[in-house]
Amino acid sequence: MRKAIAAVGGAIAAVAALRWLRGRREDIDWRSAKPPGEVIDVQLTMRHPNRTGLAFRSGKFVQESEPFHLTGMEVTYGAERVSRFAMTSALSDDPFITFRLRVAREGLLRIVLTNSRSQRFEATHHVRLA
């Protein structure tokens, strides 16, 4: 596993890592090259709290604090945006996100996460072909 995001200041200690897995869920070395056309699972782990800001008081939910959660994730491969995810406060703390990617060419895989305070966190990994 390679740490690909640096720790960020403020209320968040966000650290993310990209981990490459084969279809059978076997860990493989992140430095290994992939054959063109192979579909891989990209897994992103991070430490980030997700809070609705709601509290249950006197039989109903009331807004106790400002919501704090991840709001989006954008994935680019080379110069092309390949995925965009919208997220809500219903996401768990420290989410573990998996998505599939077909590796067609060498290039930089870049994942940018944004939270409700407009803070941005980035993970990158250079995809090499065999």
User: What does pLDDT average to over the chain?
Assistant: 75
Confidence of residue 48 (pLDDT cuts 50, 70, 90): confident
The answer, yes or no, to whether residue 64 has pLDDT greater than 90, is yes
Query: What are the domain boundaries of the chain?
Result: 2-53+65-127
Q: Which CATH class is domain 2-53+65-127?
A: mainly beta
The answer, yes or no, to whether residue 1 has pLDDT greater than 60, is no
Q: Which amino acid is at 45?
A: T
Between 19 and 33, residue with greater pLDDT: 33
Cα angle, residue 127 at apex, residues 7 and 111 outer, rounded to 5° = 40
DSSP one-letter string for 77-112: ETTEEEEEEE--TTSPSS-EEEEEEE--S-EEEEEE
Q: Is the pTM of this model over 0.75?
A: no
Q: Which of 45, 44, 47 is nearest to 8 (CA)?
A: 47
**pLDDT, average across residues 20-38:** 50
